[in-house]
Amino acid sequence: MKITTCIAIFTAAFCASVFANPLTIDQVKFSNAWVKKPMPGMAMTAGFVDIKNLSGKDLKLVAVRTSVSKVAELHTMVMVDKVMQMRQIIDGWVIAPGQTLTLAPGGNHAMLMGIDADLKNKADVELEFNIEGIGWILVPAAVQAPNL
Ligand SMILES: [Cu+2]
């Protein structure tokens, strides 16, 4: 128990110190970030990205946030009685060294709820992803209609 507490404190301190240092993005590559242009009248939409682990150890995506929605959650899709449902991912996703975590339509996604009314008029926004032990990383994302 004592060891766990120490690690928790260390991680928090580490996160805080790295927060102001965007160079830590060297351990992770973010690509293809985009946010689905919200349908008229909709209060929610989703964000997508590919996250590649460039480090030599497991990384864990633990949270997402953005200034353009009140709530942002990590979601996945599961099949329940032949119906696709969304589930919030509480514990995050582990990304093994060299592996890419894909957030894409129909699968894992960043759920954005309580979105700003003017999001549909924006060309791009910023998503922030929290990698455990690294902290928040700001990722520019294009706002675009999905390819149907
Ligand atoms: Cu969702």
Going from the Cα of 46 to the center of ligand 1, the distance in angstroms, rounded, reads 7
Going from the Cα of 89 to the center of ligand 1, the distance in angstroms, rounded, reads 10
Q: How many domains does the chain have?
A: 1
Domain that holds residue 68: 2-144
Provide the pairing of β-strand 135-144 with 28-36. parallel
* C-beta of residue 88 within 8 angstroms of C-beta of residue 103: no
Going from the Cα of 42 to the center of ligand 1, the distance in angstroms, rounded, reads 13
Going from the Cα of 75 to the center of ligand 1, the distance in angstroms, rounded, reads 5
CA–CA dist 137, 24 (Å, integer): 8
In this prediction, residues 28-42 reach a mean pLDDT of 92
- Look at residue 40 and tell me whether its pLDDT is greater than 50: yes
Going from the Cα of 130 to the center of ligand 1, the distance in angstroms, rounded, reads 18
Within 10 angstroms of residue 134's Cβ, the number of other Cβ atoms is: 23
Going from the Cα of 105 to the center of ligand 1, the distance in angstroms, rounded, reads 10
**Residue 127 token pair:** 């998503």
pTM (two decimals)? 0.81
- Look at residue 94 and tell me whether its pLDDT is greater than 80: yes
List, in sequence order, every beta strand (DSSP E) within 5-68. Answer: 28-36, 44-53, 59-66
Q: To the nearest whole number, what is the mean pLDDT of the chain?
A: 85
What CATH number should be reported for the domain holding residue 118? 2.60.40.1890
- Look at residue 8 and tell me whether its pLDDT is greater than 50: no
